[in-house]
Structure 1
Amino acid sequence: MKILLADDEKYDRETVKHILKDNFSEELEVYEAKNGREAIELSESIRPDMVIIDIKMPGIDGIQALKEISATLPNLYSIILTAYDYFDFAQEAVKINVKEYLLKPFTKEEIVEKVSAGIRSVKKEQNKRKSEIEDKEKIYTLLPVLENQLSDLIINDKLKGIDYGMYLRCLNMNFVSSYAMVISIKDKYAYTDIGRNEKDEIKIKIGEYIKEYINRKYKCIGNYVFYEELTYFIQIENENISDFKNLKIDLAFNLRREIKKRFNVSVRAGLGETFDSVEQIVESYRQATKCLVYNSDNVNIIYIDDVNDKLLKDQYTINVKENKSRNTNKIKMKLFEDVKNYIRENIEEELELEKVANNFGLSVYYFSRTFKEVTGVNFSDYVNKCRIDIAKELLLSGEMNVKEVCYKVGYNDPNYFSKVFKKYEGVSPVNFKISIDKQYIT
């Protein structure tokens, strides 16, 4: 245990130090300061458990020094040492939580008594703190278990008859404005040619990353170890909005982008509706898993509204009527001309089907199906072709090199840009530029 002795009177300092070493050599390391400034500076480096400090010192006095030291050491056990038995000093001492005081001249017995009391108090505080840390460690060790248990109960619809209040209190969740997000990993990119064990390792890493990402802003519990899909129950009650759909889609979109960037893995996400209790979140989970059953290579973020049977039936009726109506067809053609213009104007951005459909207020399924009907190609092929056409224009102008053109048309990887360019044009962008330069020289 460290004790700091601060007194400008060398004789008093030596006397107290001698008493401390005679009586507490096994328990205390004694440090000295001859003024308030030294006491502050030394405290910052040694971080004492106790301090005996004289009130009346030149420069920074004992009270001011204690204020500074206590700001960073709130549990410091302090004893003031003074020949000034004044009421105003007593008032200041109370404000900074001074535990004891000694009046000069003091006796050996008084020093021993006060310091012994201090040692007992510090040890008690240390034991209390140790116990608190141990309790917290036990809780933190238990939390993942409780999280898995509660999410299992939701996933398997076994909440009835269970006293889940303890789970909610320990996990600090109330499931107000909450929903389920279920994520599946697509068998492509880095996830394709690896074994089962490696896939499990990547899945757990992705699962942990997603939970940490969501918890930056919202509360959530997750289950991604024992199931094929990665499941999260997300609580977003702190958002002051009535329609959570766009918020949920944006979160899933950002997660998908970050996972692709960080792990080179592609995922799909199903999103359930927002509910206000843990009992109702079971339905949100059902909806989210239902979303993932819908098979479409072009749709990676699926909200339950888009696959609701009634909405699909209504959408089908609308589409039949549209096919029979020339005027409606004109409206549809005009709408997708606007979509094509939007793609060209935002070619530098990351153009995902879900985001573009949402921008025009359309269901991803209606958008995907009608886009191909209008343009003759699917959305991703159209975007790539548009990027390459603009890239050719930029290369023809001669104002940019290949790398600059790559970034200008929305590709982050020059090698991938070259691969796509060659797929559509039969030559790499470098060779395309060389041929242009040769024609220009000729």
Structure 2
Amino acid sequence: MYSLLIADDEALEREGLELMIRHMMPDTFTFLHAENGRRAIQIAEEERPDFIFMDIKMPGIQGLEAVREIMSRYPSTKIVIITAHDYFSYAKEGLALGVRGYLLKPASLAEVQNTLTMLIAESEEEKRARNDQLALREKLSQLMPLAENELSLMLMLECVQEVELEQLAGLLNLQWEKGYAMALSFSRRSRKELETFQLVKKEIYEAVKQLAKPNLSCLVSPVVGYQMALFIPFPSGKPGYSQRVISLEWGEKIRGFIEERFQVPLSVGIGSIREGWDGMTRSYREAVRVCADDSDIVSVRHYDDITHSSGQKIISLDDEKKLLDALLRHDKQETTERFSLLFERLEQSEPRSFQRLRGEVVGLLLFLSRGVRYGDSAELISSLGAAEDAEALHSGALVWLNGWIDGMKQEKEQSRSSVLQRALLYIGEKYKEDISMESSAEYVNLSPYYFSKLFKLQTGETFIDYVTRLRIDEAKRLIAEQNLSLKEICYEVGYNDPNYFSRVFKKTTGITPSEYRQQACAKSLLT
């Protein structure tokens, strides 16, 4: 049932209107009466009626004043004003205040019924909209932790496109211009520490979330191996140095809390303040680097402190990426050369601190191990941590790098029967046809979303780029044979439009199919 407040200074008017409505719409309303504007305001506050019929002309606080007061406090209230013909100008003013309609005295049965029917329909529609909104909010609340985990993992692993980051950030309503990362690395140097951590890591994750999120408004990653990450927005109006001090205080607070509660040693690394989501990823890498420093000076370290105290910047992120790229291409010679150059630079920047040099090298290899998804972090730290001089550290690191390359090559050979290999074989058979990513994903029984991620991660190319490369390579081969026309070759390699084929060919090779054929003819004449 709905509640209806009738405000009119004439008791007979109120009672007559109630009797009329009860007769027309039985068992639909409970009724409230107010004899003036003041009483109408009080009842609206106390009872929150669904609908109000308000007479304009009443003693004391008049109808329009009461409407104005009620609407200012409860703007969703549905009010219908009742007026005599002489006061129609006031009715128009009421409409401007947001009332839902007006009734001109004496109102007919049909007018009253139509008005109430309209109010009920509006209320029901609003109720459905509210229920839908609540259901959506409930679903979103269930998705939010998953979205936060996904976004934080993207920032940690650097394996996504910018558009995906922005979509997740939008879902989480994050609009950060600047921020920094904090890496939490849990000790596992002894068997006891390792066992303790495995038993309590879920509790640690929940405890860190409860401590950090309300105070820092941050993203909290899941536990990955023996690490967690916090991605923290940079408050506007605070100077960078002040924020560095605050971040170190929070790092110490988290470290002390975890060690006291769970008896698990914790090392904290903090990256510098950077812009955008790409900057957050860089800050995380910086945090991991200084977190890996095995110096006993402090357990909570800030990247800016480490770089400023050494007097030089740590090796650039571009240099790291080039070294990682050489690893992923399984190029031992380039990997060795690039690492040795970086090692020499680090050695020159830390001439008196072998301990800090060792920490830098360990941090670099930890970053590379995540990039190649290979190697045991605990074993790596233990192995390189045992090096007692620069020469042993350099040779030990190269052993790890070469071992990763050998391992990746072996895994690649063993993975020919994997899902991706089956997909590549399928694509190799079907690329001349009207093939799509969706059909390829269905062939290997994966969702298109997951398949696209796996394909890009393993091949380094998008599905479209990969198929295009196969088609253009085949087109080049057919052009060189000179047995088919360019139009026939277009259809042969899977394109339906010769003009489109020509554009793709030129975009890929830098020249048109006709120019490529001329070059091929010239070469054949020379030979």
TM-score norm. by structure 2 comes to 0.53
State yes or no: 1:235 paired with 2:233.
yes
In structure 2, the CA distance between the partners of 1:45 and 1:195, relative to structure 1 (3 Å rule), is farther
Match runs of 1:417-432 below 5 Å: none
Partner of 2:243: 247
Per the alignment, in what secondary structure is the counterpart of residue 4 of structure 1?
A: strand
Q: By how many angstroms is 1:281 displaced?
A: 2.4
Please state if 1:137 is matched with 2:138.
yes
Measured in 1, the distance between the counterparts of 2:87 and 2:115 equals 20
Q: 1:245 to 1:210 in 2, by over 3 A?
A: same
Partner of 1:304: 303
Q: Does the C-alpha gap of structure 1 residues 87 and 16 become closer, same or farther in structure 2, counting only changes over 3 Å?
A: closer
1:203 maps to which residue? 205
Which of the two has greater helix per residue? 2
Counting only pairs closer than 5 Å after superposition, residues 34-433 of structure 1 correspond to structure 2 as: 34-160=35-161, 163-184=164-185, 196-215=198-217, 220-225=218-223, 228-236=226-234, 238-240=235-237, 244-254=240-250, 256-257=252-253, 260=256, 264-265=260-261, 268-308=267-307, 310=312
The alpha-carbon distance between structure 1 residues 36 and 174, as it changes in their structure 2 partners (threshold 3 A), is closer
Shift of 1:48: 1.6
CA distances 1:194-213 after superposition (whole Å, capped 9, x unpaired): 78544532431222320121
How much has 1:273 moved relative to structure 2?
1.9
Letter in 2 for 1:253: E
Select between 309-318 and 150-159 the one with higher mean Cα deviation.
309-318
Structure 2 residue aligned with 1:6: 7
User: 1:69 aligns to what SS in structure 2?
Assistant: helix
CA distance 1:17–1:9, shift in 2 (3 Å)? same
Query: In the aligned structure 2, how far is the partner of 1:165 from the partner of 1:316?
Result: 39
Percent of residue pairs bearing the same amino acid type: 26
Q: Structure 2 CA distance, aligned partners of 1:59 and 1:227?
A: 73
* Residue-pair matches, total: 311
Q: Which runs of 5+ in 2 are unaligned?
A: 314-345, 354-527
Does the Cα contact within 8 Å between 1:256 and 1:268 map onto a contact in 2? no
Whether the 8 Å CA contact 1:180–1:288 is kept in 2: the answer is yes
Matched residue of 2:274: which SS? coil
The change in CA–CA distance for 1:252 and 1:84 in structure 2 (over 3 A counts) is: farther
Unpaired runs of at least 5, structure 1: 320-442
Q: State the distance in 2 between where 1:57 and 1:8 align.
A: 6
Check the 8 A contact 2:154/2:165 in 1, yes or no: no
Root-mean-square deviation over aligned CA pairs: 3.2
Q: Which amino acid aligns with 1:284?
A: S
TM-score (norm 1): 0.62
Supply the distance in 2 between the matched residues of 1:208 and 1:46 (Cα, whole angstroms).
Answer: 39
How many Å apart are 1:16 and its aligned residue?
Answer: 1.1
Q: 1:40 to 1:245 in 2, by over 3 A?
A: same
Q: 1:100 to 1:43 in 2, by over 3 A?
A: same
8 Å Cα contact 1:204-1:225 kept in structure 2: no
| Inter-CA distance 318–127: structure 2 relative to 1 (3 Å threshold) | same
Alignment deviations for residues 389-421 of structure 1 (CA, whole Å, 9 cap, x no partner): xxxxxxxxxxxxxxxxxxxxxxxxxxxxxxxxx
Matches of 1:100 and 1:290 in 2, distance apart? 68
Do the aligned residues in 2 keep the contact of 1:151 with 1:222 (CA within 8 Å)?
yes
Distance 2:257 2:151 in 1: 31
Give the AA of the match of 2:51: M
DSSP 3-state at the match of 1:98: coil
Deviation at 1:14, TM superposition (A): 0.6
CA distance in 1, matches of 2:251, 2:65: 52
What secondary structure does 1:163 align onto? helix
Shift of 1:184: 4.0
Instruction: Give the conservation status (yes or no) of the 8 Å contact 2:165–2:277.
Output: no
Q: Report matched runs for 1:9-20 at 5 Å.
A: 9-20=10-21
Question: What one-letter code is carried by the residue in structure 2 that aligns with 1:232?
Answer: L
Tell me the distance in 1 between the aligned counterparts of 2:44 and 2:259: 47
Deviations 1:18-52 (A, max 9, x none): 12222333332222222212211111122122111
Displacement after TM superposition at 1:255 (Å): 5.7
**Hey, what's the Cα distance between the residues in 2 that align with 1:314 and 1:85?**
95
Structure 2 counterpart of 1:125, one-letter code: E
Deviations 1:130-180 (A, max 9, x none): 222322332232222111111111211202486333112222335522221
1:365 corresponds to = none
